[in-house]
Amino acid sequence: PQFKTGTFEQTVDHFNFIQSGTFKQRYLYTEKYWDGKGPIFFYSGNEGGITGFWENSGFVFEAAKNFSALVIFGEHRYYGESLPFGQDSFKIENIGYLSIEQALADFATLIPALKKQFKAEEKPVVSFGGSYGGMLSAYLRFKYPNVIQAALAASAPIYFIADLSIRDFFFPAVTRDFKNADPKCPDLVRAGFIELDNLKKEGLKGLDAISKAFKLCKPLKSADQINHLIGWIRNAFTIIAMCDYPYATDFLAPLPANPVNYACKLLATASDRLSGLADAAGLAYNGTSGTLKCFDPWTEFVECADPTGCGLGNANLAWDYQACTELPMPAGTNNVTDMFPVLPWTLDMRADYCQKHWQVKPRLEWPGISLWGRDISTASNIIFSNGNLDPWRPGGVLKSVSPSLVAVLVEGGAHHLDLRSSNPEDPPSVVAAREMELELIRKWIS
């Protein structure tokens, strides 16, 4: 549905009464389904402009129709247009106000103000979110149960964020997705990387062959550039695995239906292993009918504190900072438990990087304290949904903790498939998951 846009005069620092600065926080809303009596459905915005999440969270509107709800999507500070210091927001002296605690306080302040504005003070609020937004949705219910009555946390790896002992799950899970699509697929990927490595050793002639195979806009000039190219390729496989939806989408990339299977076919039918690797990687940046004549890994992929990718532009800077502070990202690749070349990302490497780029030192214990870690049993009214195709799934809540902390598993679902609009190609499991989610929400807010 069409959205209306509003802005709210938000506090820069909720935890410091001396600092009285404010900024304009953007929110989107629609009263299309609201009868003035129904609940409020609030989407806790994550790492990007809020309009992208509005366009890719159709289930929220389907649920709103069902409940005659008012829908509000709140934008996360330091993303989209909600920049506390405009373009200066990403300077070292200003970035420190970017934290999960501040973002949650933004949402917890915004909601009561909007309830008053819409004369809906007595109405229950349900938070929705996917991925990092799903984590925020759960955290809102943890920290502000007086504001949020129930939460849907889709594909929210909350256990992983607070437990550094499970850092090495992500790339093995990506590899498993490709293996499940075609048992030969990971070996074809490995063979492509071996060919890449062999050519790298041949000097300029080899680099030229790599540049041609990958249709690079600017030919490679040095073997030192290969690691970035590998990061770009690995990022492509990550996107394809996360967006392995049963129909064509344009969420993180313009991808065909079942893109993991599609990529495996490209790898299997290519004239040689390197071309296959190049075709599969190109899928994530150019889709099946893209207009790019050549690729530029240096603008299409930015290395950062998150080996699974930070996005581009301002969002890249904000996420990089968050990955340096409260969000410890997965370990890198090792070519033993995954199909990618050895590109490690240890906690020491992270600490060095973060000190150099942001002058910060990660506090490893803090997320487990502030964000509850694994001990969530005193919370209630939260649905944790995870798809078995989603590489983030091993970091999430996969078993119900209590009758009101419910795990919903989506067979054949990739990254928060259940939050997307219903589609004729949906597997039966996601249809059932959505029905269960609606049923639980109804029970909790009635």
Residue 110: both structure tokens together: 């915004």
Whether 390 sits among the annotated catalytic residues: the reply is: yes
* pLDDT above 90 for 291: no
Domains of the chain: 4-163+370-445 (3.40.50.1820), 169-358 (1.20.120.980)
The model's pLDDT over 341-393, given as tens digits with 9 standing for 90+, comes to 999 999 999 999 999 999 999 899 999 999 998 999 999 999 999 999 999 99
Residue 151: both structure tokens together: 């939460």
The model's pLDDT over 175-206, given as tens digits with 9 standing for 90+, comes to 999 999 999 999 999 999 999 999 999 999 99
Whether 426 sits among the annotated catalytic residues: the reply is: no
Per the residue annotation, which of 106, 177, 338, 390 is the catalytic one? 390
Please compute the mean of the pLDDT values over residues 160-169 and round it to a whole number.
85
Contact yes or no for 232/310 (Cβ under 8 A): no
Query: How many Å is the Cα radius of gyration of the chain?
Result: 22
Q: What pLDDT does 369 receive?
A: 92
Q: Is the full-model pTM beyond 0.95?
A: yes
Q: What pLDDT does 208 receive?
A: 97
Contact yes or no for 209/192 (Cβ under 8 A): no
The model's pLDDT over 306-349, given as tens digits with 9 standing for 90+, comes to 999 888 899 999 999 999 999 989 999 999 999 999 999 999 99
**What would the 3-class secondary structure string for the chain be?**
CCCEEEEEEEECCCCCCCCCCEEEEEEEEECCCCCCCCCEEEEECCCCCHHHHHHCCHHHHHHHHHHCCEEEEECCCCCCCCCCCHHHHHCHHHHCCCCHHHHHHHHHHHHHHHHHHCCCCCCCEEEEEECHHHHHHHHHHHHCCCCCCEEEEECCCHHHHCCHHHCCCHHHHHHHHHHHHCCCHHHHHHHHHHHHHHHHCCCHHHHHHHHHHCCECCCCCCHHHHHHHHHHHHHHHHHHHHCCCCCCECCCCCECCCHHHHHHHHHHHCCCHHHHHHHHHHHHHHCCCCCCCCECHHHHCCCCCCCCCCCCHHHHHHHHHHHHHCCCCCCCECCCCCCCCCECCCHHHHHHHHHHHHCCCCCCCHHHHHCCCCCCCCCCCEEEEEECCCCCHHHCCCCCCECCEEEEEECCCCCCHHHCCCCCCCCHHHHHHHHHHHHHHHHHHC
Per the residue annotation, which of 106, 415, 426, 429 is the catalytic one? 415
Please compute the mean of the pLDDT values over residues 27-36 and round it to a whole number.
97
Q: Of 209, 238, 223, 221, which is closest to residue 301 (Cα–Cα)?
A: 238
The model's pLDDT over 392-422, given as tens digits with 9 standing for 90+, comes to 999 999 999 999 999 999 999 999 999 999 9
Q: What pLDDT does 251 receive?
A: 81
Relative to beta strand 70-74, strand 22-30 is antiparallel
Q: Of 263, 267, 133, 265, which is closest to residue 192 (Cα–Cα)?
A: 267
Q: What pLDDT does 129 receive?
A: 98
CA distance 127 to 185: 39
CA distance 149 to 112: 13
* pLDDT above 80 for 164: no
At residue 243 the predicted structure's pLDDT band, cuts being 50, 70 and 90, is very high
Per the residue annotation, which of 44, 82, 89, 131 is the catalytic one? 131
Whether 377 sits among the annotated catalytic residues: the reply is: no
